[in-house]
Structure 1
């Protein structure tokens, strides 16, 4: 074939290719697919993160509520709160966490906020659970035992203070967030939630009891 004829054929093919529109949508989809996938997975991660915050918050509320209700009836005396009750409240938090695996990935701190002999706020006792080592943000057991320098637990408008002869069960729940998709891209996130509940009935506030058969102490 002469050179001129070959050039003419090539030009015709190029013009035909330039007018072709059959693959435009497919090419555009191929370009946008990575962005769409990233946005989709990002939305999934955001939903999971938001749901995790909600679940951890509910765990904190339930922990404080369960501890405020638990008691051992005593004939001729006020009901007592036992080490067994603390352990069961913490175990209930683990079960409520479900696939969050709160015991391995988190920490729960249960404190009894009371009034000391000087009229100040006092963390009378404190029990913990979980493999992580986060401490209470308000101090260990015994904080505020004397004097009135300890203001109570909570921050800002959410600060709570116990009243004379009453106790508040204050729950703190830490959870190391486990990403669904972007595990290597999202920095470590610790979800922290708190809840406080007044003890429902009269309670012997002289301590936390451990009658026979004794239960393990979930110390902090």
Structure 2
């Protein structure tokens, strides 16, 4: 039986170089971190963007809450001192505090994407221009003023409302609506005896940073109230000449 001898081809210089390069490549670990980062980048981005979205939502909630508190506080202070110790609230005063909220909320387009309702809840004994008067203090939603472009369910006030003529003069017909309390059933607001409360409701459309990827658009709702700080006249919201345009709740503009 004959034997077959296999003779390997000689290794050329080029072959040795290729073999050396492959050996070095097999031992090379310099790209490990880059590969790991490439594999984890989608997860890191997803979690990071989710955190940014939640943080933005939390900040937006805080802002809307503070806007409501500031407006209620400002509305409880404004008015013209008549010199007799009684302060009269004018339409221009109401417009000023609403404009202040608009400017304060410009960073989130508060009035373009939301609706603000300012309500005067009063617990006083009223005398009317026809000579009649209340027999005892009565709690009423006397008048309301609004600003903001949004309208409809979820944006207009979610609580009882009064006609746009309410508070425009001193007649019984514009005295507003009698209520026991105001606001949410779980946290009702009641005005103290012989004074009133400025009640603010804000409904704001939150638009997510990343569309609907993490959370859907939603309405942010906050209320706030402050007791009126001075001896205010509860007859009406005055509008002396030159008359200002009242921010009644039939208007919807940013």
**TM-score, length basis structure 2:** 0.73
- 2:130 aligned with 1:130: no
Shift of residue 63 of structure 1? 0.3
Between structures 1 and 2, the one with greater helix share = 1
Q: Which position in structure 1 is the counterpart of 2:45?
A: 37
- 2:211 aligned with 1:179: no
Q: Distance in 1 between matches of 2:81 and 2:123?
A: 23
Shift of residue 39 of structure 1? 1.4
Tell me if the contact between 1:121 and 1:144 (Cα under 8 Å) persists in the aligned partners.
no
Q: Summarize the Cα distance change of 1:75–1:24 in structure 2 as closer, same or farther, 3 Å threshold.
A: closer
Q: Which position in structure 1 is the counterpart of 2:172?
A: none
Q: Which position in structure 2 is the counterpart of 1:145?
A: 177
Q: Secondary structure at the match of 2:177?
A: coil
Q: Distance in 1 between matches of 2:176 and 2:238?
A: 21
Shift of residue 155 of structure 1? 4.0
Q: Distance in 2 between matches of 1:47 and 1:25?
A: 30
> How many residues are paired up?
213
Question: What are the residue-to-residue correspondences of 1:44-55 with 2, within 5 Å?
Answer: 44-55=52-63
Tell me if the contact between 1:120 and 1:144 (Cα under 8 Å) persists in the aligned partners.
no
The superposition leaves residues 21-73 of structure 1 with CA deviations (integer Å, 9 ceiling, x where unpaired) of 44333222111001111111222222111111111111001100110000111
Q: CA RMSD in A?
A: 3.0
Q: Distance in 2 between matches of 1:112 and 1:154?
A: 16
**TM-score, length basis structure 1:** 0.84
- 2:244 aligned with 1:208: no
Q: Which position in structure 1 is the counterpart of 2:166?
A: none
Tell me if the contact between 2:137 and 2:194 (Cα under 8 Å) persists in the aligned partners.
no
Tell me if the contact between 1:115 and 1:164 (Cα under 8 Å) persists in the aligned partners.
yes
Q: Secondary structure at the match of 1:104?
A: coil
The superposition leaves residues 116-137 of structure 1 with CA deviations (integer Å, 9 ceiling, x where unpaired) of 7475532100000010112222
Tell me if the contact between 1:82 and 1:208 (Cα under 8 Å) persists in the aligned partners.
yes
Tell me if the contact between 1:111 and 1:126 (Cα under 8 Å) persists in the aligned partners.
yes
Q: Distance in 1 between matches of 2:23 and 2:188?
A: 76
Q: Which position in structure 2 is the counterpart of 1:83?
A: 91
